[in-house]
């Protein structure tokens, strides 16, 4: 079994604390003879969806993670592994979807990949508002659109900071869920989105409940602030959530009349919605219960229902203007 692992948080470090531990758990959980190939962005690429850079040259680097935290050396050309290095990863200065496509078609043309796994994301990707914005879901969607079965994996941040003790059971649960999906793939699903909340229940027996869920159809509003008016209050609205804060929101004095905006979303109503606003059985509903959501998805925008679709004679669907 050949698995391509991508993410949107980049290589191991402060902004990407999950990928190295998950990589090791996943490798140890797969059947003998399986391999995990890692192609990830060289930095943070959250909230970029399924975008590609089409005018820039995408540059790559070789990365050699080591225990205990996955930090390692970066080189311009491939070289033999040194003592303590667990493998050779590829870093690209592109988007998660770019990593998926180049990983599948350019870097390893001799490998027929069976699955793409994207994540684990730092923060939940439950609900339409997050899923359609997510670089993690975008990386999986990019795989699914090539016909490769794909899984997006996200860890919902509940405590700040999340206790390190949550991570081994979260990685182990992720590997179990992924193997179950791989072995029991629904032919109607192009990809799955899995959301695991980092909560105390991970440390207990029997652990977290896992639900099949739908995607909560929700919305967001204003995501940016005028850079001249942004304040510490705006920063507080995002820093205690699992949404990347982006640049610091210090006031920026600019020439009057010029346009400058900073990322400053207040998404607390999406991260912690009132229970009566959430669709029962949805991914957000599961996370409200400190449970895991597994949502089957199609690699397509969903059509809205329309009376015309009930007409079997296609000529009757023709517009008359």
User: DSSP for 35-47?
Assistant: EEEEEEESS--TT
Whether 128 contacts 284, CB under 8 Å: no
- How many residues in the chain? 321
What's the pLDDT score for residue 229? 73
Secondary structure (3-state) at 171: helix
pLDDT value at 14 more than 60: yes
The CA angle 305-48-37, to the nearest 5 degrees, is 105
Q: Which position has the token pair 């870093």?
A: 91
Summarised one tens digit per residue, pLDDT across range 28-41 is 999 999 999 999 99
Closest CA to 224 of 241, 240, 245, 242: 245
- How many C-beta atoms surround the C-beta of residue 210 within 10 A? 17
Q: Which two tokens stand for residue 240?
A: 């205690």
What is the structure's pLDDT at 235? Answer: 53
State the pLDDT at residue 8.
Answer: 97
What's the pTM value of the predicted model, to 2 decimals?
0.91
Return d(Cα 2, Cα 114) in angstroms, integer: 5
Tens digits of residue pLDDT in 183-240: 999 999 999 999 999 999 999 998 999 999 999 999 999 999 998 775 555 555 555 4
Are 6 and 139 a contacting pair, CB within 8 Å? Answer: yes
Average pLDDT, the chain: 91
Query: pLDDT digits over 160-174, tens only?
Result: 889 999 999 999 999
Q: What is the mean pLDDT of residues 37-46?
A: 97
Q: pLDDT at position 269, please?
A: 85
Q: Is the pLDDT of residue 71 over 80?
A: yes
Backbone phi, psi, residue 284, to 5°: -65, -35
Q: What is the pLDDT of residue 256?
A: 75
Cα 96 to Cα 32, 103, 105, 217, distances in angstroms: 28, 10, 14, 24
Within 10 Å of residue 22's Cβ, how many Cβ atoms? 24
- For residue 264, what are the CA distances in angstroms to 14, 58, 63, 223? 20, 29, 32, 6
User: For residues 40 and 7, is the Cβ–Cβ distance under 8 A?
Assistant: yes
Between CA 159 and CA 242 the distance in angstroms is: 10
CA–CA distance, 44 with 96 (Å, rounded to integer): 10
pLDDT at 93: 97
For 220, other C-beta atoms within 10 Å of its C-beta total 15
pLDDT in tens, 229-247: 755 555 555 554 566 655 4
Q: In which band, very low, low, confident or very high, does the pLDDT at 249 lie, cut at 50, 70 and 90? A: very low
Only one residue has tokens 């699914």, namely 144
């Amino acid at each position: 079994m050949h698995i391509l692992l991508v993410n949107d948080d980049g290589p191991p470090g402060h902004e990407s604390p999950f990928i190295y531990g998950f990589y090791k758990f996943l490798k140890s959980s797969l059947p003998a003879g399986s391999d995990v190939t890692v192609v990830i962005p060289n930095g943070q690429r959250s909230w970029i969806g399924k975008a590609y850079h089409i005018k820039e040259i995408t540059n790559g680097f070789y990365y050699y993670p080591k225990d205990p935290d996955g930090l390692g050396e970066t080189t311009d050309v491939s070289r033999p592994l040194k003592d303590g290095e667990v493998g050779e990863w590829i870093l690209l200065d592109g988007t998660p979807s770019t990593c998926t496509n180049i990983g599948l078609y350019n870097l390893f043309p001799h490998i027929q990949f069976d699955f793409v796994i994207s994540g684990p994301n730092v923060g939940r990707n439950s609900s339409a508002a997050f899923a359609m914005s997510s670089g993690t879901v975008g990386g999986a969607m990019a795989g699914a659109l090539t016909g490769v079965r794909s899984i997006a994996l996200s860890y919902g941040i509940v405590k700040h900071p999340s206790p390190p003790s949550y991570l081994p059971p979260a990685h182990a649960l992720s590997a179990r869920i992924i193997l179950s999906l791989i072995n029991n793939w629904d032919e109607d699903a192009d990809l799955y989105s899995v959301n695991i909340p980092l909560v105390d229940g991970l440390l207990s027996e029997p652990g977290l409940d896992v639900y099949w869920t739908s995607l909560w159809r929700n919305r967001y509003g204003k995501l940016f602030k005028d850079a001249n008016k942004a304040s510490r209050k705006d920063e507080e609205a995002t820093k205690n959530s699992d949404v990347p804060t982006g640049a610091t929101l210090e006031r920026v004095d600019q020439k009057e009349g010029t346009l400058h905006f900073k990322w400053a979303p207040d998404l607390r109503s999406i991260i912690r919605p009132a229970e009566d606003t959430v669709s029962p059985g949805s991914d957000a509903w599961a996370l409200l219960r400190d449970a895991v959501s597994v949502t089957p998805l199609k690699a397509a925008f969903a059509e809205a229902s329309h009376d015309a679709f009930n007409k079997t004679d296609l000529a009757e669907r023709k517009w008359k203007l």
